[in-house]
Structure 1
């Protein structure tokens, strides 16, 4: 959740802006939306993919008022005789494209599930091919390492405060009803609107990361419309804090997961014949951690100017941003080790990570900030953030105070904000959770909080390794098999189980 990847949604289809719909006569019921499907096979995607536009209300409290269009996609079962229903693929974020994730994951799902499901997904409002929601955020504030509120040298947050205020004011001035409508609750409502348009009485759901929070809300509000629900890599559903809680959990999560990288980067195997030189950063894991912390603090004070991108120096924020993202998957460890190696070499030219080089679109930036700021009210005291940043920075130096820092939400204005949804144990017992033990974005402790909230409705599968996004993601045969069996048969483990790494 709240990762750099969540801030870069790929656009697969064209989008439209929110538009006003004619108001029906008083007392009329909103019609079930009609989907007109057209072929939209994507490069690298499965054959037979189709796309359509789904009409949803901007404000569900005014169902006959202005509307938005959501880009939706489907891949029909190729074995109608084996089909048992529809599986909705819900992406992470906030800000990731469901259409893109469906395109990427459908081939693997088809292998795992055969023809058991039609596979469907939608781009959340403001994302990808859905109706646009934008704030007019200045380009200099839209770089991913800037939207993430990394403190400056010594934990200074003055620049973060100024940027947060600028972004909040831009969204209040220019965002309108579309930006005010960006929320996790509305995404859950949109999912049910999609279900209706598909003509399904119930749907199954496979959700990932932030999408698991959206799906938990869906299971809370529309539990009678759920068949089989998979929550993959869940965060703490604390309805009083929501994204503030996810950020607070990042400090210990990164520290725990970093141990895997430190072991890798101190392994003598890094120096074996044929290995890239310099990726063994130290002789012992604890030395890797010490040098990374010292390097980040030095780059805060004195950024490295010798980079492959004019105008962007490697500073502590970019280093920590890259570190967090690399911990999502072991395959990214060489990228992080290479950056650390080159940053320590005064003569080396450092390659700036690709997602930092180009500012996000105004649309992507607005969606990311809009959702987390609309979900719940954040504290507004700058002094309070300064105190919390200092304490968090001392306790978890790898994240440099980010988990406790200020965001535009501190100055956010939304008179339409709704009460957050509390996740409870009331509803069908049809939820399977799967979680990596050492997840840098949605730590295992957060998943346990989600399970406590759901009670007997959920069973938890813990995969004993590090990474983020487990099912069909980190290649754990045991975990994949449990989820596949559940989706095919409805059978869950009798109790929580553990899968070896």
Structure 2
């Protein structure tokens, strides 16, 4: 799951059965955990919090340490408790400390709450876990972490200059010494330290969006230490890399007809009486706002706001109100994010630390000029955003550990959940993840739109499949397709 509008939004090899050279296998942690009250903004539903220390550099386990903040929603039924369920809400850059409470708000079944201590944590670099910074200005924060829609080559070059400035700021920030050590591989190793600190032989995991990459990397690095792994709304196996970012274009094209149908059926919005008319209105509004912004909305922000609102069906009425206001040159209603992000600067900075370490991004501005030109024509709604350049093209550091390639060796203990019309992590990317995990995984698809399946979508078949896996271990023998639920 991502936090809008700052959207902290994407061939298989053998899994690593042992630590790579220079990475010591951690032993049992003697560190006692002292659970206590959580910070005020996290404390709800009986959540408890604590901290643990982990190596800054896992190649040097006895070297400098950093601190991770953890939360726990303990099972109240010891007779049914199976173990622990680590969770991640997405990102990268998203805080997960309050996520167990959010899962309760999403009506997580009591059978799951009885089966596990639900564990949340802020990944390294995020929130209360040794946070990083890029000293971003308010303007830079407001740009978020999805590149703007590039109308032409000049827009790409402008964003390239802005991206280089951001990369330089990250390299000169007070946390620049952490640059090589904030990555998905390092966070996965942190997860195993959390497992040790909880005195568990195995952990289960529930990860959404970017959390699917984190869970897949953990399952690859530690194939025999996972119990039941659920990956919901899947990125490509490389995470939010160049290929994952470019999937925003086809993802929006696949999802947008759901909104067009919704708006066409609501004459009060006056956006068109057919889905085709609503689609034409999108391009008309974007072109008009490119020339003459309304109340701070230019064409790029309009496109981004539309893309972000397609994450949830529940956001469609608000989006239609925004369109209606912009179409009539009126002040649009303020877009309210579904989830508050207390520190946007840290969210954007830690997002960059991770994605720039997790893959090798093209350094040539010319390659982005080419890709934007191609994707603008192929996916005119949003392709020129997903293909646009990022600060990673100018990143100054190398990761302490090479990116981990998701592999298929290990027990068959992974369940992928995926919507067929996800704008941010489209089905085509999930299918790549499914192939990379091979027989380790099964996938359940729900014929619905939006970003997030389990507890977020309304498909009972998909929800029940995930709940059964978490509580009983029952998993479809083959991949399962869940048909659309009646409205």
For normalisation by structure 1, the TM-score amounts to: 0.87
Q: C-alpha offsets along residues 447-474 of structure 1, whole Å, 9 cap, x if unaligned?
A: 1100101111111101011111111111
Change (3 A) 1:196 1:359: closer
SS in 2 for 1:157: helix
* Residue pairs, 1:188-199, within 5 angstroms: 188-199=188-199
Change (3 A) 1:120 1:460: same
- Partners in 2 of 1:74 and 1:48 — Cα distance? 9
- Partners in 1 of 2:90 and 2:37 — Cα distance? 25
Q: Does 1:479 align with 2:462?
A: yes
- Partners in 2 of 1:354 and 1:115 — Cα distance? 33
1:281 Cα offset (Å)? 1.2
Q: Which structure 1 segments of 5+ residues have no match?
A: 10-27, 272-276, 308-312
- Partners in 2 of 1:192 and 1:122 — Cα distance? 13
- Partners in 2 of 1:319 and 1:96 — Cα distance? 23
Q: Does 1:287 align with 2:272?
A: no
Aligned counterpart, 2:82: 84
* Residue pairs, 1:231-250, within 5 angstroms: 231-238=231-238, 242-250=240-248
Q: Does 1:134 align with 2:133?
A: yes
1:349 Cα offset (Å)? 1.6
1:3 Cα offset (Å)? 6.5
Change (3 A) 1:164 1:359: farther
- Partners in 2 of 1:340 and 1:63 — Cα distance? 53
- Partners in 2 of 1:236 and 1:324 — Cα distance? 19
Contact 2:423 2:450 (8 Å CA) reproduced? yes
1:6 Cα offset (Å)? 6.1
Contact 1:375 1:418 (8 Å CA) reproduced? no
Change (3 A) 1:211 1:301: same
Contact 1:42 1:103 (8 Å CA) reproduced? no
Contact 1:56 1:190 (8 Å CA) reproduced? yes
- Partners in 1 of 2:50 and 2:270 — Cα distance? 50
Q: Does 1:253 align with 2:236?
A: no
Deviates more, 1:46-55 or 1:67-76: 46-55
Aligned counterpart, 1:18: none
- Partners in 2 of 1:142 and 1:456 — Cα distance? 42
1:144 Cα offset (Å)? 3.6
Aligned counterpart, 2:377: 394
1:34 Cα offset (Å)? 3.0
1:290 Cα offset (Å)? 1.5
* Residue pairs, 1:15-414, within 5 angstroms: 31-40=29-38, 46-106=44-104, 108-109=107-108, 111-145=110-144, 147-154=145-152, 156-174=155-173, 175-238=175-238, 242-267=240-265, 270-271=266-267, 277=268, 279-304=269-294, 307=295, 313-346=296-329, 348-354=330-336, 361-399=344-382, 401-414=384-397
SS in 2 for 1:54: strand
1:298 Cα offset (Å)? 2.3
Contact 2:54 2:68 (8 Å CA) reproduced? yes
Q: C-alpha offsets along residues 130-162 of structure 1, whole Å, 9 cap, x if unaligned?
A: 2121122233211145x4221454452222011
Aligned counterpart, 2:23: none
Q: Which structure 2 segments of 5+ residues have no match?
A: 10-25
Instruction: Give the root-mean-square deviation of aligned CA atoms.
Output: 2.5
1:438 Cα offset (Å)? 0.5
Contact 1:150 1:400 (8 Å CA) reproduced? no
1:109 Cα offset (Å)? 2.7
Contact 1:30 1:64 (8 Å CA) reproduced? no
Change (3 A) 1:180 1:261: same
Deviates more, 1:172-181 or 1:222-231: 172-181
1:291 Cα offset (Å)? 1.4
- Partners in 1 of 2:342 and 2:272 — Cα distance? 34
1:172 Cα offset (Å)? 1.1
- Partners in 1 of 2:3 and 2:252 — Cα distance? 12
Q: C-alpha offsets along residues 207-246 of structure 1, whole Å, 9 cap, x if unaligned?
A: 111001000000001111111111111111137xx52111
Contact 2:127 2:343 (8 Å CA) reproduced? no
- Partners in 1 of 2:206 and 2:28 — Cα distance? 28
Task: Tell me which of the two structures has the higher relative contact order, counting C-alpha pairs closer than 8 angstroms and 6 or more residues apart.
Answer: 2
1:250 Cα offset (Å)? 0.9
- Partners in 1 of 2:7 and 2:49 — Cα distance? 23
1:111 Cα offset (Å)? 2.2
- Partners in 1 of 2:229 and 2:8 — Cα distance? 26
Contact 1:233 1:442 (8 Å CA) reproduced? yes
- Partners in 2 of 1:224 and 1:55 — Cα distance? 23
Number of residue pairs matched?
465
1:354 Cα offset (Å)? 4.7
- Partners in 1 of 2:136 and 2:288 — Cα distance? 30
